[in-house]
Amino acid sequence: MGDDIKFHQQLLVIDENLGTEEVEALKFLCSDLLSFKKLEAVESAQDIFQLLMAKDLLNKEDTFILAELLYRIRCHFLLQKLGYTKETVQENLSWKGKVSRYRQMLYELSEDITSEDLKRAMFLLRDQLPKKLTNMSSLELLTCLEKQDHLAENNLEILEKICMDISPDLLKTVNKYKMERVSLAQQESSLPVKETASFSHHIPEGRFHSGGDVRLLTSSQETPIKSLGSNIYDSGSLWEHAGSVHFIAARQDDKAVNVMQGISELSQEQPATMSNLQSKTEKLMTYKMDGPHRGYCLIINNFSFTGTLQKRRGSNKDAEMLAQVFTWLGLDVKTYTDKTSVEIKNLMQEWQSSKDHRDRDCFVCCILSHGELGLVYGTDEREVPIRTIMSYFTARQCPQLAEKPKLFFIQACQGKEIQQAVYIEADAQNPDLFPIQQLISPSESIPEEADFLLGMATVGGYASFRHIQHGTWYIQALCNKLQLLVPRGEDILSILTEVNEDVSKRADNLGKKKQMPQPAYTLRKKLIFPVPRSPPPSQQQ
């Protein structure tokens, strides 16, 4: 009886932490396991749990199906309620997973479909969709196509045509799935009869063809750092080589994969020991963020300049949003407006010598200004090198922050500012003039020691853009992704990868001006902000 109560309490806690969008995602991922008719009546996560228990897919002895679903929708912070971690779920997906690769592909696709893509898709499908459905989510659209037999595991023709018409990039996800199916079929056909029989003994019937993720460590979320770095280098960026500075991928280090694989091998014979070792390993790989105080966040917002540089309209929106988000994350925020180059250096020196860092977990500094290659401007239009700003907080200069993560977010770009259409301006002096010989690498900005992260709004030589009412693309994307992904237990590097994705999809009114942020770091561990108890600022308004 006690176990039953504990099990249902776990489900209740998980239900209370899932919003409407997460419930819709769970419904969609369960579409191959539960009937459409039963799913239509679902109003909460509890309803889904009841349906899964009725089919004996979920019970107090085996909660993996729920762990898999939470993993798929990236609610990693809830996995601990079931005794799982992100890594242990990944290790077991290949043989215990029940969400088909087809369903995973559709869900992946839905996450990449923007609101504009969705409008265009609905317009193209207007003859196939019920006339009463004028407004729906991407998941609802895919479900509707399935119900009308326009979409199935072996019927992707309409989906491919729509993807090609609205955004060819979406087609990559579908093609990747098709190639995996072919590869899997070839593997099956090459298996000896005895091996096949032995294999099926360990895998539930029907799971080999459409079951769990057989690409355990090859999904986009687990790309090794080096491969992403080489891709950037191939594209011509001179920011790739940074010594100990690495580029963002969703996994922080290949060593993490090796450690977890070793733990996986132990898990078959020593489940209790594995759990303890897993916990200790995770602590070693993660920065300590449970001190009495989270840390300070400095925001320098340069809006008005004394010379020829124009006012940075929309920057106040960025400063307000940063203050709200980092306050929500538990930091003590200090905002400074319109500081000259000397005042910026004096501020850095003042905070460098502060004794208050001693009992704090981290340090964050955000600078919003005009800038050029490797530097920002004070309001007196004099240069302040980014490297100089960061060097105040090295372990030698600021011992109180030694071995603690130090994050710097710079909203500034290179060249003279240019006017755009009413809503878009550039935080630059002249983005059309960026001689190749002047491009610098992050190693010339970031100190050559551990525990630093530098988030730049744009790659070297290019402009970053600012909406005069809503703020800059980069800072708004950063704030939005922090609010969305910190509650899901994502680390800062994974969050910045999502920021890159968000900003890269934006464009000006003519669709010609684009932007690509570029993070660089010397972090030694994962940095995961504790989940705040209060809802994010965007849900409080």
Q: Which residues are catalytic?
A: 370, 413
Please provide the DSSP assignment of 16-85 as one string: HT--HHHHHHHHHHTTTTS-HHHHHT--SHHHHHHHHHHTTSS-SS--HHHHHHHHHTT-GGGGGGGT--
Starting at the earlier edge strand, list the strands of the sheet with 518-521.
332-337, 293-301, 360-368, 406-411, 452-456, 518-521
**Residue appearing with tokens 């130090």:** 406
In whole angstroms, give the CA distance from residue 483 to residue 476: 11
CB burial class (10 A; 0-12, 13-18, 19+) of residue 381? middle
**One-letter amino acid of 192:** P
- Nearest Cα neighbor of 214 from 121, 112, 97 is 97
Q: What is d(CA 291, CA 295) in angstroms, rounded to the nearest whole number? A: 9
Instruction: Measure Cα distances from 123 to 118, 138, 357 in Å.
Output: 9, 13, 55
Mapped onto helix, strand or coil, the DSSP state of residue 268 is coil
Nearest CA to 103 out of 220, 210, 207 is that of 210
Kindly report the number of other CB atoms within 10 A of residue 528's CB atom. Answer: 19
* Helix segments in 353-393, DSSP class H: 386-391
**Separation of alpha carbons 409 and 367, rounded Å:** 6
CA pair distance 96, 90, nearest whole angstrom: 10
Distances (CA, A) of 79 to 72, 86, 178, 486, 489: 11, 7, 30, 14, 10
Token pair in block for residue 304: 């008005």
For residues 252 and 274, give the distance between their C-alpha atoms in angstroms, rounded to a whole number.
22
* Residue 153, SS3 per DSSP: coil
